[in-house]
Amino acid sequence: MEFPDHFLWGAATSSYQIEGAAQEDGRGECIWTRFSHTPGNTYNGDTGDVACDHYHRYRQDVALMASLGLQAYRFSISWPRVIPQGTGAINPAGLDFYDRLVDELLAHNIQPFVTLYHWDLPQALQDRGGWENADSIAWFTNYAALMAQRLGDRVRHWITHNEPWVVAFVGHYFGRHAPGKCNLAAAYRVAHHVLLSHGEAVPAIRQVAPGVQVGITLDLVDFQPASESADDIAAAHREDGFKNRWFLDAVFKGRYPDDMVTRLGATLDGLDLDTVQRAAVPLDFLGINYYSRNVIAAGPHGPLNTQHVHVDGRPHTAMGWEVYPDGLRNVLVRVTREYAPPALYVTENGAAYDDPPPVNGVVEDPQRQAYLAAHVQACAEAIAQGVPLRGYFAWSLMDNFEWAEGYRMRFGLVYVDFATQERIPKRSALYYRDLIAAHRAAHSSPA
């Protein structure tokens, strides 16, 4: 497998999923605290109150990353930890935490990639309407500028949003994520404001931190029609419009796809759709999160009139997601051809499995190792086809709070015993360590 010289190997996490310390050092409440503490919303009633206790164990966790040879680490900032009410008073202890984390990473030669919004909106802002309120554009931009001012001298890579589709639709239409709404018009309103906040934040970040690289992370799916029939092909195209093109077209073309706008009709009433051109600011890179493909048939379900087809006989992860590495290559190649981003990173890719307990200090997870190997191979194939892929981040560094699934879904390369907070490498972590070492050896210039 061929990877360019400066290709970065990393792992990713997010604040609410690992930090814990939910009530400490002045952190404000976030929508996930409220949502997870509301009965019925998460598996087993799990919350992120403690999670991986990373807030207290970050030094040990950075040492763990270094022991795996990671060259980059993608994490997110908890907005309510640094601005407890979302706007107004700043919490110095919160800023100090991220300062120390960044310094610790740099001391270990690990490049920080900062995501500004990975879903933990301050509850105080939700109480003011959250992302449905157009003021959220300014709230986010001010927060982004604050962080860039504080960390921009050391953090070179900034991601405004993680997966706007999930924020909008899983949070406001399917209701499975905080804030738990079920209203399609509200979801499109949220998507619009999140996209505009991205467009405003990018120049604001560059203004206070000249020379940094700024991008956004989208969750993209390879949609494939269940048959060659015109109906199934059209259905797959609609799903692609809903999930992929709505955001790609906004960010790269400054417009929403016509077919979707027509289809959605009155659902979009009250939105000034033309303003989406403000979301299309030149980016330094696009982050792509990829987990699976979806096979789509025409069907009776939902506003898209589609049906997701389960492909029997193919491997699936514990989440029920089909293992389909070719889809990662397809997505990377397609985005490069249709949208020409200057650079790409795979900012998340990984799999949940029911891991066995540790034996002799290691967890055997052959399926995750195979998933990782196959998807890294797909990255190499994409690069060979001309994709400007600059790095790969495994999701996730360690087992963590998997949102509505609580702690039962383990995505980590490293196993976490949540009773003791012990970190135990899985076989996949050791495989990844060796892969990174081999890449480095192949590219180190002879002395």
Task: Indicate whether 402 belongs to the interface with ligand FCB (CB under 6 A).
Answer: yes
Least distance (Å) between residue 402 CB and ligand FCB: 6
Counting beta carbons within 10 angstroms of the beta carbon of residue 155, is it exposed (0 to 12), middle (13 to 18) or buried (19 or more)? buried
Least distance (Å) between residue 76 CB and ligand FCB: 9
Please pick, from the candidates 10, 11, 14, 286, the single residue that binds ligand FCB as defined by CB under 6 A: 14
CA distances from 199 to 161, 281, 283, 343 (A): 11, 6, 10, 18
Q: Which is nearer to ligand FCB, 14 or 367 (CB)?
A: 14
Q: Which is nearer to ligand FCB, 347 or 369 (CB)?
A: 347
Q: Which residue has the tokens 């990671």?
A: 70
3-state secondary structure of 117: strand
Q: Which residues on adjacent β-strands are paired with residue 157?
A: 113, 213
Task: Indicate whether 349 belongs to the interface with ligand FCB (CB under 6 A).
Answer: no
Least distance (Å) between residue 64 CB and ligand FCB: 19
Please pick, from the candidates 19, 132, 163, 200, the single residue that binds ligand FCB as defined by CB under 6 A: 163
- Note whether 91 and 146 are within 8 A (CB): no
**Site track for ligand FCB across 361-400, x = CB under 6 A:** ----------------------------------x-----
Alpha-carbon span 112 to 130, nearest angstrom: 28
**Site track for ligand FCB across 177-216, x = CB under 6 A:** ----------------------------------------
Q: Which stretch binds ligand FCB (CB under 6 A): 160-168, 232-240, 254-262, 266-274?
A: 160-168
Task: Indicate whether 219 belongs to the interface with ligand FCB (CB under 6 A).
Answer: yes
Please pick, from the candidates 162, 244, 330, 428, the single residue that binds ligand FCB as defined by CB under 6 A: 162
Alpha-carbon span 371 to 377, nearest angstrom: 10
Least distance (Å) between residue 403 CB and ligand FCB: 5
Alpha-carbon span 434 to 372, nearest angstrom: 13
Task: Indicate whether 73 belongs to the interface with ligand FCB (CB under 6 A).
Answer: no
Q: How many CB atoms lie within 10 A of CB 20?
A: 22
Least distance (Å) between residue 45 CB and ligand FCB: 18
Among 415, 376, 307, smallest CA distance to 64 is for 415
CA distances from 105 to 64, 162, 198, 321 (A): 11, 21, 26, 33
Task: Indicate whether 115 belongs to the interface with ligand FCB (CB under 6 A).
Answer: no
Q: Which is nearer to ligand FCB, 76 or 141 (CB)?
A: 76
Please pick, from the candidates 29, 104, 239, 348, the single residue that binds ligand FCB as defined by CB under 6 A: 348
Q: Which of residues 29-58 bind ligand FCB (CB under 6 A)?
A: none
Q: Which is nearer to ligand FCB, 213 or 347 (CB)?
A: 347
Query: Could you tell me which residues come within 8 angstroms of residue 83 by beta carbon, excluding any fewer than 6 positions away?
Result: 28, 89, 90, 91, 94, 122, 143, 146
**Enzyme catalytic residues:** 163, 348
Q: What are phi and psi of 30, to 5 degrees?
A: -115, 170
Alpha-carbon span 313 to 295, nearest angstrom: 14
Among 205, 198, 211, smallest CA distance to 164 is for 198
Least distance (Å) between residue 168 CB and ligand FCB: 13
Please pick, from the candidates 15, 36, 289, 317, the single residue that binds ligand FCB as defined by CB under 6 A: 289
Alpha-carbon span 338 to 177, nearest angstrom: 31
Please pick, from the candidates 324, 353, 411, 431, the single residue that binds ligand FCB as defined by CB under 6 A: 411
Can you spell out the DSSP letters for 127-190?
Answer: TTTGGGSTTHHHHHHHHHHHHHHHHTTT--EEEEEE-HHIIIIIHHTS-SSTT----HHHHHHH
# of chain residues touching ligand FCB (CB under 6 A):
12
Q: Which is nearer to ligand FCB, 52 or 209 (CB)?
A: 52
- Contact residues toward ligand FCB (CB under 6 A) are 14, 17, 162-163, 166, 219, 289, 348, 395, 402-403, 411
